[in-house]
Amino acid sequence: MAPSKARPTRSQLLFLADLAGEAGRHEDVIKQIKLIIELFDAQLTIDERNLLSIAYKNITNVLRNSWRTVDNIEKSQSSRQAMMPKQHILTRRQRQRIERELTNTCKDIVLLLDRQLLPAAKQGEEAVFYSKMKGDYYRYLAEFSQKKDRDRFADLSLNAYKLAYKHALTTLHPIHPTRLGLALNFAVFYHDVKKSPDRACHLAKSAFDDAILSLDSSDPTLDPVLRDSLTILQILRDDLILWSAEMQNTN
């Protein structure tokens, strides 16, 4: 009789997920973290959570960039459609294929967040992190969806960002990288999805000013992650300059 296969330990699954991440096998990372959730619990450690987040981010970044490239090609072909109709049809099919892959990936992580990660999350940074992720992936869905679905995904993204930001304001230090990262992505949502650079600037400036004012009295426990916070602050500042110039040019 063959011996029964021993159940892997949590540390073994984490090692495999980390190894897969180093090898750029992002689907395998997700598979191992999902096994951790299934076999142990949905209260992920910071390392497990970061591996999951980075894996989904890498997969969707590739698909989003591919979609933009093919979408631009399709638009450029539209004026020449009469001359090369077959190529235009093939390009449209390729865009639709990428859309399906991107939709499935975004809906997969949102489902994981709703059913397991968010219900198990502790109040504070963990809950903010996951709610921000939910807002991010609904934002990605809104970016390429057709009008009816775009509006629905935009509303779902807005609700997730609002919930995350309200919680962040009461539980996280103004210089905390998760709070700043949320503010940055929320501002990008207003700019890119809602087409409202004024609201994007207002949110970004508020987060930037609060963080700068709190730098002198920052929480000592934030020292190890202060570099991440400063990097996000620089991006917020750059976006503020860009969006402010954009509003001036339209006036």
pLDDT at 128: 98
Same domain, yes or no, for 169 and 100?
no
pLDDT at 82: 56
pLDDT higher than 60, residue 4:
no
Domain count along the chain: 2
- Residue 3 lies inside a defined structural domain of this protein: no
Same domain, yes or no, for 19 and 115?
yes
- Residue 89 lies inside a defined structural domain of this protein: yes
- H-assigned helices in the chain: 10-22, 26-39, 46-78, 85-112, 118-120, 125-144, 147-171, 177-188, 197-214, 226-250
Confidence tier at 215 by pLDDT (50, 70, 90): confident
pTM above 0.85, yes or no: yes
Same domain, yes or no, for 13 and 60?
yes
Q: By residue range, what is the domain housing residue 18?
A: 9-120
- Residue 127 lies inside a defined structural domain of this protein: no
- Residue 150 lies inside a defined structural domain of this protein: yes
Query: Rounded to an integer, what distance in angstroms lies between the CA atom of residue 88 and that of residue 230?
Result: 45
More confident residue, 221 or 75: 75
Mean pLDDT, rounded, for 32-61: 96
Same domain, yes or no, for 102 and 159?
no
Distances in Å between the Cα of 134 and the Cα atoms of 38, 137, 241, 249 are 20, 5, 27, 33
Mean pLDDT, rounded, for 142-167: 94
Residue 122 phi, psi (nearest 5): -75, 150
pLDDT higher than 50, residue 228:
yes
Same domain, yes or no, for 154 and 225?
yes
Tell me the CATH number at 115: 1.20.190.20
pLDDT higher than 60, residue 3:
no
Average pLDDT of the chain?
92
pLDDT at 166: 97
pLDDT at 251: 64
Same domain, yes or no, for 103 and 48?
yes
Q: pLDDT per residue over 62-121, tens digit each? A: 999 999 999 998 888 876 655 577 888 899 999 999 999 999 999 999 999 999 999 999
More confident residue, 195 or 3: 195
pLDDT higher than 70, residue 220:
no
